[in-house]
Each structure stands twice: as structure tokens, then as C-alpha cells.
Amino acid sequence: MRARTLLTPLALVPLFLATAVSSGSAAESGTPEGPDRQYLVEGPETPQERTQVARTGASVDAVGEDAASVTVTATPGEAEAIEDLGHEVTEVPVPNDLLHQPVDPAYHTYDELTGVVDKVVADFPSLAEKTSVGSSHEGRDIMAVRISGEEEAGEDKPEVLFTHQQHAREVLTVEMAIYLLTMFTEEYGSDERITELLDSRTIWILPSVNPDGAVYDTESGSYRNWRKNRQPNSGSNAMGTDLNRNWDYNWGCCGGSSGSPYSQTYRGASPESAPEVNVVADFVRSRVVDGEQRITAHIDFHTYGELVLWPYGYTYDETGPGMSRDDYDAHAELGELMAETNGYTPQQSSDLYVTDGSINDWMWGDQGIFSFTFEMHPGSFTGGGFYPPGGVIEEETARNRDAVLDLTAYADCPYRVIGKEAEYCGSAA
Ligand code: 0X9
Ligand code: ZN
């Protein structure tokens, strides 16, 4: 293998730590040749170039501030393939990907999250209800919390869905769920806007759709940088499926996922082969009442990059099957409006790189739900990557308050944002 230098400007910890990481055992991530590592890739500037990088099977974790580099998690083989594309590849041992970085107690473990959910529903029994949409591969509950204010009999409230932690290591997204659970319950009756919204809409929060991955990532006391679920793959010793490549809309169509179980972006054996995706999709399908999907708007929380993304991810085209000009424009307007409140960068998700089988494409393409991905703080890996210090939790979750409330407000008729409620929402105009 070609020699790769360590990234000296970022090497804030002594080299021996980096060596300790590199000599880690070829564990469940990565190939038999060695574990996955994080690399800075200098060169890719365009969506097409970033997609080529993603096509090696590496996960593109963020675009650099210079917009001419990306950070990736990759196997040694994938790193070589990226180098063969003509890019400069440098291993990044710090600051966030030391495999032995201790788990930060400021973040909630899955058990602690369960405790928070139980307390919220116990404290606000007339507002919040806990259900389970089903079980993970290892049998953990995939919790859902339904929050709604005053209900009139037979009332059809539009519903808004928030999903969190498809990717295990994206720990700030769980804190985002806790922020929303707390905000929607504690501020009902005192905050006028929240009260009005909950009296006219129903909120669904799925605070962790990948509990097995979350437990695996933290159970040793040190972060494992784990992304996928924990489902074994037959015929391979590589573990896990990337949940955000396993959704049943143009699954595996377009080079936006990997067919190799060793890859960070392994799409699974078939669409919805991951039980976590299957039960969440079943839950969403169950919200079709009298032929109409009650959920109208959705945000899937990820880290990192500080982006607001909308579908489609499988194509660079704005419009296409199931995505009219008005559909696209309403997504883009809503995305831009939300991004104005949180300071994120708004863009179509394929502007980042192509993905297929993602949750946003399925939510829109299959269910007609306006669907966004938020890539939360930090903006780039220098801010702590997937494991930013606990001190940022308060500010970086509250940062999305207005975006969430704005989307919730448009849930009665998202096309209102482009002034077309009369055309699309009939009497709602
Ligand atoms: O690659 C992903 O799944 C997301 N990025 S992450 O670094 N959190 O893994 C981006 C998904 C964007 N959505 C679509 N492209 N549809
Ligand atoms: Zn993610």
C-alpha cells in the first residue's frame, strides 16, 4: 500500500495516539485488512467528484469548509481507490475519531433516552403517548412518541414526523429528539405558538431508529465510530447495513450505495432488509387513513455539516418521476426558509453526493411526504465531527427550534410556501 502521511496541522494529539488507533484490531468495521479510518480527501469540488468518492463505498462524512475537500470513513482499500481517482488522501487521527475517545456522559445512552421518554409521557399523560413501532435486529424497542394537544372527535390533524439516529455515531441527533420532546410538552399551554400548533397538528418523534448501533457504539465506554445497524450479513463476517441506503425507493439504482457488506454504505440484501427500516416504513404506511397519508412533513436528523437537504438524492435532476416543478420548488422554498432560521446551507441532497435508497427519497417518492435531512453541527470535522463536546448540546439543538416550528406550521399545506394552496389543498386555502 502507498504511504500516507498523517495530517500534521490537525494532529493536536501526539502521534503515538494515532499509532494506537492504526494498530487497532481489524474489528467488525472495515475489511480483514484493517479497520475503517477517517481520511481527509483533497481534490473533490463538484457533486460529481464527491459522488465518485462515495462510489468507492466510503461514507462521505462532510464537505470541507474550502468546498474542495471531504472527510470520509473508509477501509484501506477504499482509501486507495479514492487516491486512484487522483485525490490526495491523508489519514486524520484527530480530533474526533480516536477509537478510544471516552463516551461523553453529557450525551444520553439508549437506556437513558428510554428513561427520558418514559418520564415525558408520565409527566404529560394528556399530551404525550409512547408507542413502539417494532423491534430492532437485536430486539430493542424502536420507540415513537405521539404528541398532540386538544383533540376534537373525528378531527383529521396533519401529522409531522421527526426521525433520529439512523446512523449510530450521530449522537447529537438523539439530543435533538430530547430537545423536541421537552419543547413540545413543557411549552404547551405557555408558548402560544406551540400551543396553537399542537392543537392543530400531531407530532411523531422517533428518537432513535438504530438502537442496536447506538448501544454498540458506546457500550465499551469508548466511541466506536459506528454508523450501520448490527445485523449480520450472510456469507460475510462484516456487520451491518446502512439504514439510509435500505429504503424501498429506487434502491441501489444509481451508484449511491454499496453492494459490499464491508462498506459503510452497504445497502443491505434487499430493500427494507434491515428490520429497523422495515418497521419504521410500516409505521409510516400505517398513517395512511382513508387513502390519504396523514403525515405531510418530515425531518430526518443527521450529523454533520450544517446542511438542510431535500430530495431527490438518487439523481442530480431537480424534477423527474413523482417530482414536479411545484413539488421541487415547495421543497426548496421550505428548505431555504428553514435554513434562514438555523444558518445551515440549503441544497438538494445530490448536490452533496448521490445517494440511493435514502429515507428522504422514499418518504417523498413513495409516500408523498415533504421530507428533509438536517445535517447538524459541526460544520466540519474540526468542530468535533460525530462527537462534539457536550457543551454544545444546548445551543445546537435549540438552533433548530424555529425550523421545526416553521415546518410544523406548513404541515396543513406545504404548497402554501409557493402560494399554491388553492391549487393543491382545496378547501385549506
Ligand atoms: O450519507 C448520508 O446518509 C447522509 N450523510 S451522513 O454523513 N449523515 O451519513 C446524507 C443523506 C442525504 N440524503 C440524501 N442524499 N437523500
Ligand atoms: Zn447520517
Give the C-alpha separation, 58 to 217, whole Å: 19
User: What does the domain layout of the chain look like in residue ranges?
Assistant: 4-98, 110-428
- Give residue 154's pLDDT: 73
351 CB less than 6 Å from ligand 1? no
Give me the mean pLDDT over the 181-208 stretch: 98
Give me the mean pLDDT over the 13-37 stretch: 43
Predicted confidence (pLDDT) at residue 422 exceeds the cutoff of 90: yes
358 CB less than 6 Å from ligand 1? yes
Residue closest via CA to ligand 1's atom 12 equals 349
Query: Which among 276, 375, 396, 421 is annotated as catalytic?
Result: 375
- Give residue 202's pLDDT: 98
Distance from the CA of 373 to the center of ligand 1, in angstroms?
Answer: 7
- Give residue 370's pLDDT: 99
- Give residue 66's pLDDT: 86
Q: What nine digits make up the cell of 415?
A: 404548497
Give the Cβ contact number of residue 86 at 10 Å.
10
Q: Which CATH architecture has domain 110-428?
A: 3-Layer(aba) Sandwich (3.40)
Compute and round to an integer the Cα radius of gyration of the chain.
21
Choose the residue to mutate in 71, 171, 245, 373 for probing ligand 1, maximizing ligand atoms within 8 Å of C-beta: 373
The per-residue pLDDT for range 371-387, each reduced to its tens digit, is: 999 999 999 888 889 99
The per-residue pLDDT for range 216-266, each reduced to its tens digit, is: 999 999 999 999 999 999 999 999 999 999 999 999 999 999 999 999 999
Atom of ligand 1 nearest to the CA of 256: 15
Comparing 393 with 429, the larger pLDDT belongs to 393
109 CB less than 6 Å from ligand 1? no
171 CB less than 6 Å from ligand 1? no
Q: Which ligand number lies closest to the CA of residue 73?
A: 1
Choose the weakest-confidence range: 20-24, 43-47, 50-54, 140-144.
Answer: 20-24
Residue closest via CA to ligand 1's atom 13 equals 349
Give the C-alpha separation, 314 to 247, whole Å: 12
The per-residue pLDDT for range 51-62, each reduced to its tens digit, is: 999 999 999 999
309 CB less than 6 Å from ligand 1? yes
- Check if the beta carbon of residue 266 is closer than 8 Å to that of residue 241: yes
- Give residue 65's pLDDT: 85
Choose the weakest-confidence range: 2-11, 79-88, 159-168, 406-415.
Answer: 2-11
Distance from the CA of 168 to the center of ligand 2, in angstroms?
Answer: 8
The per-residue pLDDT for range 126-171, each reduced to its tens digit, is: 999 999 999 999 999 999 999 999 988 777 899 999 999 999 999 9
Distance from the CA of 202 to the center of ligand 1, in angstroms?
Answer: 26
**Known catalytic membership, residue 375:** yes
Give the C-alpha separation, 415 to 426, whole Å: 11
Q: Which ligand number lies closest to the CA of residue 358?
A: 1
Q: Which ligand number lies closest to the CA of residue 331?
A: 1
Query: Can you give the three-state secondary structure of the chain, one letter per residue?
Result: CCCCCECHHHCCCCHHHHHHHHCCCCCCCCECCECCEEEEEECCCCHHHHHHHHHCCCEEEEECCCCCEEEEEECHHHHHHHHHCCCEEEECCCCCCCCCCECCCCCCCHHHHHHHHHHHHHHCCCCEEEEEEEECCCCCEEEEEEEECCCCCCCCCCEEEEEECCCCCCCHHHHHHHHHHHHHHHCCCCCHHHHHHHHHCEEEEECCCCHHHHHHHHCCCECCCCCCCCCECCCCCCECCCHHHCCCCCCCCCCCCECCCCCCCECCCCCCCCHHHHHHHHHHHHCEECCEECEEEEEEEEECCCEEEECCCCCCCCCECCECHHHHHHHHHHHHHHHHHHCCEEEEHHHCCCCCCCHHHHHHHHHCCEEEEEEECCCCHHHCCCCCCHHHHHHHHHCCHHHHHHHHHHHHCHHHHHCCHHHHHHHHC
276 contacts: CB under 8 Å, gap ≥ 6 = 136, 137, 142, 209, 210, 212, 229, 243
349 CB less than 6 Å from ligand 1? yes
Distance from the CA of 170 to the center of ligand 2, in angstroms?
Answer: 6
- Give residue 426's pLDDT: 86
Give the C-alpha separation, 124 to 185, whole Å: 7
Q: Which CATH architecture has domain 4-98?
A: 2-Layer Sandwich (3.30)
Comparing 429 with 332, the larger pLDDT belongs to 332
Distance from the CA of 226 to the center of ligand 2, in angstroms?
Answer: 11
Choose the weakest-confidence range: 15-19, 139-143, 366-370.
Answer: 15-19
Confidence of residue 314 (pLDDT cuts 50, 70, 90): very high
Q: What is the mean pLDDT of the chain?
A: 91
Comparing 11 with 286, the larger pLDDT belongs to 286
- Give residue 117's pLDDT: 98
Task: Give the CA angle between residues 305, 306, 310 to the nearest 5°.
Answer: 95
Predicted confidence (pLDDT) at residue 287 exceeds the cutoff of 60: yes
Q: What nine digits make up the cell of 33?
A: 485488512
